[in-house]
Amino acid sequence: MPGILVSNTESGEAHVWYADGTKIVDRKRVLDADGLVVSVNGPWKIVATGTDAGAFTRPNIIWHDANSHMTLLWRMFNYRLSSTATVVDEAGNPIFVGPPWETVGCGDFNGDGKADILWHDNSTGGGTDETQIWFIDGHRITSRATVVDEAGNPIFVGPPWETVGCGDFNGDGKADILWHDNSTGGGTDETQIWFIDGHRITSRATVVDEAGNPIFVGLPWHVVGVGDFNGDGKADILWHDHAPDGGGSHELQIWFMDGHRITSRAAVLAENGNPVVVEPPWRIEAVGEFTHHRVGPVTAEGSPAGTFRGDVVVTGKMEVSGGIVVPHGDISVSGDLILTGADVAEQFDVADHANTADGIGPGTVVVLDADGAIAPCTAAYDTRVAGVVSGAGDRVPALLLDRGAPGREAEDDRRPVAVTGKAWCRAEALDHPIKVGDLLTTSSVRGHARKATDRTDALGAVIGKALTQLHRGTGTVLVLVGLA
């Protein structure tokens, strides 16, 4: 979903205004990785936005430091910063570029799905008026090329012409360059598109109105961004009616484009349906494809059904009906990890002699044999106690360890044993009733727990503490597992 990136020159905060066609449907403050409001202050300045395509479109905000001349890439998820990276050259070294060069846009010029950076060597600062593209992979420059004309010759264009945006106007999957011939510098107020393939101009065309006539628009109107507002795969032009002296209506207007021809024009509307107004201290920084909420249902089949290289950021709820496998790397959680299960269970092999018809079901109190496999307990105060087989009643494991270790994938010969947390276990109160808070140990009744009445014998044989009671006979007791 396209977003208009705006900033407040007094407070320094930045917002993304999400647009559906011509209407603003939501506004969000831009947040850093810690969830704090971003402050846009000098010497850093937002110079462009770009989008990397992939399983999910991912917006980038390009920053430039007027002092150090460093270029910084902010990888965003929606309106929140995901990670940052300094742009480096082909050798991997940070690159520092300042005046008369200036960043004038960002777009995918070679169709590889990755945003590239457009620079101009401004002659008003002593430059040559060269236009150059940095082809980028991630935050690393893979190559640089001067923009050349249709014949392959370097092209040099300067004032009163100025680059005002980049976008795919003809829907070929490659960014084009939008120029404006500024009348304040003696120009005609013509708007022109350079259609680009890589770094070569394939054609040039003056923007024309709905009737096919060249259109000339100057101050107080000026171009403030380029983006696909109606989702037709072709870039549109965002104009702002704002003069340098503060004049103008401060309204925003979109020119919906098909190639170099305007198909329609419309004012940008606020959530209440009235024209949106942007006036000081607010200003338009850029337009970007800021993903809002979710892109839509993502369905894939195969094995694997999808591959991600890099970070996957989830800011909302993620529901998984299958499993998540992380063969390498870490999972980091900055907030709370909420698990609906009740215990931490460890997978154990079942001893051969214990794998009988009655089996080892959930709730069975188990002990270790000489090989470290488990079997139901058959003696009181057995220090070989390992825990309780998880999964009885309404309690299931929250974490399951050692599952599917190499050569041990078969579930029939293994059981999850709760080693901490809450689990229902089989218990007997044949000699002593079990009350809440009683310590439980193994029983001579196969696979059952009993009340530990002898603290000396219970040392090393405690299963945990009873959370429910059992007055007599056999049954189940909820136990807070804690081997001791």
**Mind listing the pLDDT tens digit for each residue in 141-165?**
999 999 999 999 999 999 999 999 9
Query: CA 99, CA 120: separation in Å to the nearest integer?
Result: 10
Q: Given its phi and psi angles, is residue 185 left (phi above 0), alpha (psi -120 to 50 degrees) or beta?
A: alpha
As a whole-number percent, the residues of the chain with pLDDT over 70 amount to 86
The pLDDT score that the predictor gives to residue 402 is 82
Alpha helices in 346-466 (DSSP H): 455-458
Mean pLDDT of 437-441: 97
Query: CA 114, CA 136: separation in Å to the nearest integer?
Result: 7
The reply to whether the predicted model has a pTM over 0.75 is no
Burial profile 100-136: b = 16 or more Cβ within 10 angstroms, e = fewer: ebbbbbbbbbbebebbbbbbbbbeeeebebbbbbbbb
pLDDT per residue as tens digits for the range 47-62:
999 887 644 456 789 9
Predicted confidence (pLDDT) at residue 118 exceeds the cutoff of 70: yes
By the 8 A CB rule, do 361 and 391 touch? Answer: no
The pLDDT score that the predictor gives to residue 482 is 93
The pLDDT score that the predictor gives to residue 305 is 61
The pLDDT score that the predictor gives to residue 78 is 84
By the 8 A CB rule, do 23 and 33 touch? Answer: no
The pLDDT score that the predictor gives to residue 310 is 56
Count other Cβ atoms within 10 Å, centred on residue 383.
16
Max CA separation in the chain (angstroms): 104
The pLDDT score that the predictor gives to residue 168 is 96
Phi and psi at 144, nearest 5°, equal -130, 145
Query: CA 207, CA 179: separation in Å to the nearest integer?
Result: 10
Predicted confidence (pLDDT) at residue 409 exceeds the cutoff of 60: no
Mean pLDDT of 462-478: 95
First and final C-alpha spacing in the chain: 57
Instruction: Give the 3-state secondary structure of residue 121.
Output: strand
Work out the burial of residue 172: count CB atoms within 10 Å of its CB; fewer than 13 is exposed, 13-18 middle, 19 or more buried: middle
Hey, CA dihedral for 240, 245, 248, 251, is it positive or negative? Answer: positive
Query: CA 5, CA 46: separation in Å to the nearest integer?
Result: 10
The pLDDT score that the predictor gives to residue 295 is 44
Predicted confidence (pLDDT) at residue 406 exceeds the cutoff of 70: no
Of residues 22, 24, 55, 6, the one with CA closest to residue 294: 55
Instruction: Give the 3-state secondary structure of residue 328.
Output: coil
Instruction: Give the 3-state secondary structure of residue 34.
Output: coil
For the record, the structure tokens of 399 come out as 């974490």
Query: CA 286, CA 261: separation in Å to the nearest integer?
Result: 22
Length of the chain in residues, anyone? Answer: 484
Average pLDDT taken over every residue of the chain: 88
